[in-house]
Structures are given as structure tokens and as C-alpha cells.
Chain A
Amino acid sequence: MSGLTIENVSMRFDLPNGTSVQALKDVSLDIKEGELMSVLGPSGCGKTTLLNILAGFLAPTEGRITLNGHPVKGPDAERGMVFQQGALFEWMNVRDNVSFGPRMAGKRERDWGANVDHLLDVVGLRDFKEKAVYELSGGMQQRVALARCLANDPDVILMDEPLGALDALTREKMQGLVLRLWKETGKTIILITHSVEEALLLGERLLVMAPRPGRIHEEYRLPFADEGVGRDLREVKKNPEFGQKREEILGMIWNMEEEIMGRTEAAQ
């Protein structure tokens, strides 16, 4: 079977002071190939933990994860990752960063050269191939990170607040780029974000998680990602349904935050 399956995943770890934290409890999900899913939730709801487990950087205490039928045991090239801050290699130029995956796999330039150059075209960095990455702006660095991830041709792309550090305008452009890449490549994408709007725009499926213990609170299926492909995202946002969903989810997260605050105050 193809796609990413998460079965009853729980994550619990001990703190040095003797207490333990239930970061995730009984999370189950089926993500089909080519799906674009955004994950939203208040801080401490375990969304980054979930992503790290999917990437293979953490092992869950219970449950299992399978990708295309085989279990996930550790990091692998089949699951690409895009971080909040590019996590680029400063000692390599743009092209060497993008071709890192194929080069590490021992492929020759004639096998990856055309693809890497094509990806640099797609993210609009054709003229910056030979530049050092620290000379680029934040948005350009993030485009390098996207291209680097795609150059390795992963089955699933995991994005950890990839646009969180960008300014509002750049962010909007990058959202359009993510949608376009998703449609063009047909990759499965899981995207974590803090922004409700971003989650609505970049999610066929939207997962709202709740904290303590981290769990899935609500799941939506949304039309906006499909609508937004190739279009001005500001048009999508004008859709009254978009505004209504945004208010609904904002209210939901607001309540969760209130509850956390109340609980903390009560504990004091």
C-alpha cells in the first residue's frame, strides 16, 4: 500500500526532575500519496514532535509509522525535510547545496545536472547558482532549501514552519511557490505552521492538534489549496468561506490557549 500511515503513535519521555511529559497520545493518520496536509495547533501540542518522528529523528514510545508499506526506522532520503531557517551549508554555493542529495548518493553530474538546473529555474535562482548562500536573502535561502529537498526526489516532504521567518510579502509569494511545486511534482507534503491563514491556503487536509497530551483535535478537508494553484492567493482569501473557516479555527485555538492559561493559573 502506498502513502504514509501513522498508527497509534504515542510519545512519552521523562524529565530530569522525575516527572514525565506526554507529548503525543494515540495519534493515528493515513496520508495518501500526493496529499498536501497542514498541521496547526497551539504551542506545546506536539506538532514538531510528530514531524520529527515522521522524519525519523525521534522514535515513538508506542505505535508505528509506515511509508509505502515499510516501517520508518530513522532518517532517510525518501522523507525530505525543510526547516524554518534554511539549514543550508554555507561552505557550498547554491548549486552545490541543491545537488547535495544526489552527490551524497554517489551519482554523477550528468545524472543530476539537468534536474538541478531545472529546479533552480523553477525556484527562480538560475542566476544565483554560483553565489554563496550567505549572500542570499531569507526568502531566497528558503527557495534553495526547497530546491535542495526536491532535487533528492523524496516521496514525502516534511516542512517545519518553512515560511515562519519570512516577511509577509515574501511569505505570500512563497506560499504560491509551495502550491505550484506540490501540483507540479505531485509529492506528499506535510507542513507545520503557526499561521491559520497559511494552514488554510496550504492544506487539502488541515489537522488541528490539541496540547497536553498532544493529540488530533479536529480535521478538515479544504478546497482552498486546489483553488489557489496558479492563482492570486489574495483572491482565495476573499472567499467568504475562507474567512468563516479562519474564524472558526482561530476561535478553537484561542480556546485551547485560554484553557492552558487557566490550568497554569489554577496550578499556581
Chain B
Amino acid sequence: MIVLLIYIAIFVAAYVLVKFVARKATTDYASLKTVTFGDESAVVPNRFASVISILTIFLLWAAFTGSSLVPSFLHAPGPFIGDATFTYTAEADGVAPDDATVTVRVFEVGNDAEDPVVDPGDGWAKNDVDTIGAWRSGLIRVDDNDEYGRDQGHVVTAINGTPIEPGGSVETDYGRVGMSPKGTLNFEPSKGWQMEPIWLPAPEAVLARLSEIASDGYRDSTLWEHLGYSLFRVIVGFFFGALVGIPLGYAMGLSDWFRGWFDPIVEFMRPVPPLALIPLVIIWAGIGEVGKIILLFLAALWIMAIAARSGVSGVAISKVHAAYSLGASKWQIMRHVIVPNSLPEIFTGARVAMGVCWGTVVAAELVAAEKGAGMMIMVASKFQLTDIVIMGIILIGVIGFGIDILMRYAERLLVPWKGRV
């Protein structure tokens, strides 16, 4: 909740700041428009906003994990580390109530900690010591070293002077002291606002893990092998999907018999999510490469067939008529009119298909695989290796984004007339 509020605050503050600065600096055509609300062409992504947006995410991530990449004054309050103390008041049969102090050394998990040394103190209730890891909690049996034990009616009645009952708890400066139904105290040092590395590791931990896996590998394969296998499956699956789907789409766009024959199949298979086919493909082809490639082939096939079909349908009839009137044969019309005219649609389809394939391959690897990006994060999650999971997710995102950029680049190169006709 607090994170969301900070995020909104940064969003608003950056907006006000950038608008204030930018309004004075730019004088291009768009900035002279008075009507921008509702004019879609006047809305282009504000690059300042994009940069600040990405920085904000990393800043929040770093701040709430106590990252060493940002100065410590930006850190959210961390968990309490050090010696925490609280006093308890105990009663026992036939003696006056007595106070004693508990000193708990809270240490960072992973480091060794020794019990703090304290004076036992006066009275029948003796001072206690214990150690607890940060973000953990621990039972403290304060009656163990007292002169009267539970069999003499030892009960704790107050913490720091505040009365406590079984099942209740008292907040202290160092954390929460609770009492179990049977009367045993437990201490939970305050956790602060930072995330424990097991839930969300700091950016530098993810980075360190990346370089470790990049050099040493994970699960008997290098990082590049994992990613390479995923990419290889996508490319091979997409290639065969396009190889079959595009001619199928052309046939459906050019012949009523093909259209009638394949329409029900394509229209039925298109809304079936490829993920739903994973179990069947595993039954039929196993969890090896063949199964994955069949799955991705099926994921790409329908998308490419539909893209090619609508590419053919999108040919202006006047262009076909013009070509016939210029003496072109059917084959020449196919080659010089229909195919080039359908390229923009096919590229759009290819971009969608590549995205779907990439998502499907990761999901398929989550289910079962020996190598691959999805398998890597799945296995890591089983061992609570959150840094690998996050690293894997980021890499999967970066590669998916990279594929799309490459496709867009190829599109600009091959169909420069797209959107300009």
C-alpha cells in the first residue's frame, strides 16, 4: 500500500516537474496545438516519462530491498538488527511479583550470533538472553532460569509494565512480544518495510546471480544454453507454422473449396489457447524437443493462416483487375500482386505469432523440460531461489521485447508502404 502511494507520488511529482520544464523548452508543431485532449495524433509517448518510469521501478525495488546501489538515505526502514530488550513481570506462588529483563540479539540470517552477556540481576526472576534472526521470531522461555518455575505457579503478567494474557501481545520499541495460549513468550523483532531477500532480493543480488549463472551455468547447462534452447524451439516452431500456415492462408483466400474446408478447423482451433494443448502434446510426443516444437507449430499455424488469409482478402480488387488488364497471368498476379500486398498483414501476424510462441514455450517449459528459460525459473522457485526466478523473468521479458523490435525493424525494411496507402 505504502509502495503504491509512493509510486503515485513520484508519478505526479515527475509529471508536474517535467511539464513545467518542458513547456518552456519546446516549440515544435505539436506543442503549438491547443487541442490535444482527444487528438490521438498529438499523443506521443513522453520520453521523459518512460525514463522516469523505469528509474522509479528500480528505485523502489532498490529502496525496499536495502540495495547497496542506492544511497542509504533512500532505503526504506530495514528490519531491526542489534540487541533488543524488554522487561517482564512474573508472579509465582507465595512470593512478591518480580521484574527481569530479556535481551535478544537480532542478527542477519546467514551470520553467526552469540548470546549477549548480561548480569543475572536481583530478585527471583533472572534476566534472560536469546538470539533471533531478522524477519524471524522465536520462543523465549523466561521461566527456565528463574528461581520459581511453572510448577510453582510462574506466570508472566506484564511486558514493560503493560499487562499481557495468554493469546495476547504487546508492542515494544524493538518488536512484538506475544504470549502463546500456554503462557510462553515469543518475540518477533520489528521487520521494517524492507522485503526479505527470500521474497524479493536486491537488484545487485539478481545481477550477481546473473553473472554467476552466465559463467557457471545452472542445472548442468549454461545460461545461454537455457535461453538458446527456448529460442531455438520458438524459431523452429514458428518457422514450420509459417511454412504451412501461410500457404494454407493463401489457399483459403484464393479458393472457395479450401476456404470452406479449412474455415471450421481454423476458426475452431484459433480460440483454443496453445497452453491447453500442452497435456495432449505431452501424451502424444513426450516432453522432448519434438513435443515442444509441435506445440509451437500449432500455436503459430493458425495465426499465420489467418494473417495470410486476411492479407489476400485485403487486396483491392482494382489492383488485381489492373494487373489482369496489363496482361499478367494468374501466377504473375500471385507473385507480383497478392503476395506483396499481403506482406503487411503477414508481418502483423508474425509479430503476434512470435509473441504467442515465446509465451507458450516458457509455459511449456514450466510444465516439463530439461533445458530452457521456463525450466530454469521453475526449478529455482522450488528451491526458493527468488533471485534466479526474477533474473529469469527479466531475461524472458527482454528477449520477448527484442524479438518484437527485430520484427518491427524487418517490417519497416520490407514493407515500407505499410499504413501509407
Check: A75 CB closer than 8 A to any chain B CB. yes
Give the nearest-CB partner of A157 in chain B.
Answer: B325
Which of chain B's residues have a CB closer than 8 A to the CB of A76? 325, 327
Interface hit among A37-45, A83-91, A165-173, A237-245:
A83-91
Which of chain B's residues have a CB closer than 8 A to the CB of A56? 324
Query: Which of A79, A89, A132 touches B325 (beta carbons < 8 Å)?
Result: A79
Q: Is the CB of B421 within 8 A of A101?
A: no
Q: How many residues in B have their beta carbons less than 8 Å from beta carbons of A?
A: 23
Give the nearest-CB partner of B419 in chain A.
Answer: A134
Q: Is the CB of A104 within 8 A of B329?
A: yes
Q: How far is the CB of A191 from chain B (nearest CB, A)?
A: 15
Which of chain B's residues have a CB closer than 8 A to the CB of A158? 325
Q: How far is the CA of A255 from the CA of B372 in the complex (A)?
A: 77
Which of chain B's residues have a CB closer than 8 A to the CB of A105? 327
- Given known contacts A89-B336, A89-B340, A134-B417, A104 and B327 CB-to-CB distance under 8 angstroms: yes
- Given known contacts A91-B340, A104-B332, A83 and B327 CB-to-CB distance under 8 angstroms: no
Query: Which of B316, B326, B415, B420 touches A101 (beta carbons < 8 Å)?
Result: B326
Q: Is the CB of A101 within 8 A of B327?
A: yes
Give the nearest-CB partner of B414 in chain A.
Answer: A91
Check: A152 CB closer than 8 A to any chain B CB. yes
Q: Is the CB of B326 within 8 A of A100?
A: yes
**Which chain A residues in 49-82 approach chain B with CB under 8 Å?**
55-57, 74-77, 79-81
Q: Is the CB of A132 within 8 A of B324?
A: no
Query: Which of B319, B326, B340, B415 touches A77 (beta carbons < 8 Å)?
Result: B326
Query: Which of B316, B332, B415, B417 touches A87 (beta carbons < 8 Å)?
Result: B316
Check: B322 CB closer than 8 A to any chain A CB. yes
> Does more than half of chain A's interface fall in helix, strand or loop, or is it mixed?
loop
Q: Is the CB of B318 within 8 A of A104?
A: no
Check: A143 CB closer than 8 A to any chain B CB. no
Check: B321 CB closer than 8 A to any chain A CB. yes
Q: How many residues in A have their beta carbons less than 8 Å from beta carbons of B?
A: 30
Q: How far is the CA of A145 from the CA of B326 in the complex (A)?
A: 11
Q: How far is the CA of A160 from the CA of B357 in the complex (A)?
A: 46
Check: A95 CB closer than 8 A to any chain B CB. no
Which of chain B's residues have a CB closer than 8 A to the CB of A84? 318
Q: Is the CB of A81 within 8 A of B417?
A: no
Query: Which of B324, B328, B332, B421 touches A90 (beta carbons < 8 Å)?
Result: B421
- Given known contacts A87-B316, A134-B420, A104 and B325 CB-to-CB distance under 8 angstroms: no
Check: B181 CB closer than 8 A to any chain A CB. no
Check: B416 CB closer than 8 A to any chain A CB. yes
Check: A148 CB closer than 8 A to any chain B CB. yes
Q: Is the CB of B319 within 8 A of A75?
A: no
Q: Is the CB of B417 within 8 A of A77?
A: no
Would you give the 0/1 interface string for B391-421, flagging 1 where the beta carbon is closer than 8 Å to chain A?
Answer: 0000000000000000000000001110011
Q: Is the CB of B327 within 8 A of A87?
A: no
Q: How far is the CA of A56 from the CA of B332 in the complex (A)?
A: 18
Q: How far is the CA of A145 from the CA of B318 in the complex (A)?
A: 12
Check: B76 CB closer than 8 A to any chain A CB. no
Q: How far is the CA of A154 from the CA of B329 in the complex (A)?
A: 16
Q: Is the CB of A132 within 8 A of B322?
A: no
Residue of A88, A89, A105 with highest tally of chain B CB at under 10 A: A89
Q: Is the CB of A83 within 8 A of B332?
A: no
Check: B337 CB closer than 8 A to any chain A CB. yes
Check: B323 CB closer than 8 A to any chain A CB. yes
- Given known contacts A87-B316, A101-B327, A152-B327, A81 and B421 CB-to-CB distance under 8 angstroms: no
Q: Is the CB of A91 within 8 A of B417?
A: yes
Q: How far is the CB of A166 from chain B (nearest CB, A)?
A: 16
Q: Is the CB of B318 within 8 A of A87?
A: yes
**Which chain A residues in 111-138 approach chain B with CB under 8 Å?**
132, 134
- Given known contacts A87-B316, A87-B318, A89-B336, A100 and B323 CB-to-CB distance under 8 angstroms: yes
Q: Is the CB of A57 within 8 A of B421?
A: no
Q: Is the CB of B319 within 8 A of A89?
A: yes
Q: Is the CB of B321 within 8 A of A57?
A: yes
- Given known contacts A91-B340, A91-B417, A104-B336, A75 and B324 CB-to-CB distance under 8 angstroms: yes
Query: Which of A81, A90, A132, A154 touches B321 (beta carbons < 8 Å)?
Result: A81
Which of chain B's residues have a CB closer than 8 A to the CB of A83? 318, 321-322
Q: Is the CB of B321 within 8 A of A87?
A: yes
Q: How far is the CA of A91 from the CA of B329 in the complex (A)?
A: 18
Q: How far is the CB of A15 from chain B (nearest CB, A)?
A: 20
Which of chain A's residues have a CB closer than 8 A to the CB of B322? 81, 83, 87, 145, 148
Give the nearest-CB partner of A135 in chain B.
Answer: B420
Would you give the 0/1 interface string for B301-344, flagging 1 where the beta carbon is closer than 8 Å to chain A?
Answer: 00000000000000010110111111111001000110011010
Which of chain B's residues have a CB closer than 8 A to the CB of A79? 325
- Given known contacts A89-B319, A104-B332, A81 and B327 CB-to-CB distance under 8 angstroms: no
Which of chain A's residues have a CB closer than 8 A to the CB of B328? 100, 104
Would you give the 0/1 interface string for A137-154, flagging 1 where the beta carbon is closer than 8 Å to chain B?
Answer: 000000001001100101
Residue of B327, B341, B420 with highest tally of chain A CB at under 10 A: B327
Give the nearest-CB partner of A101 in chain B.
Answer: B326
Give the nearest-CB partner of A83 in chain B.
Answer: B318
Q: Is the CB of A132 within 8 A of B417?
A: yes
Which of chain B's residues have a CB closer than 8 A to the CB of A80? 325-326
Q: How far is the CA of A88 from the CA of B417 in the complex (A)?
A: 12
Which of chain B's residues have a CB closer than 8 A to the CB of A74? 324
Q: How far is the CA of A233 from the CA of B325 in the complex (A)?
A: 30
Which of chain B's residues have a CB closer than 8 A to the CB of A101? 326-327
- Contacts A/B (CB < 8 Å), 14 sampled: A75-B325, A87-B316, A87-B322, A89-B319, A89-B341, A90-B341, A90-B420, A100-B323, A101-B327, A104-B326, A105-B327, A145-B322, A152-B327, A154-B325
Residues of B within 8 A of A (CB): 316, 318-319, 321-329, 332, 336-337, 340-341, 343, 415-417, 420-421
Given contacts A75-B325, A77-B326, A158-B325, 17 further A-B pairs with CB under 8 A are A55-B325, A57-B321, A81-B325, A83-B318, A83-B321, A89-B319, A89-B340, A91-B340, A91-B343, A91-B415, A101-B326, A104-B328, A104-B329, A104-B332, A134-B420, A148-B322, A148-B326
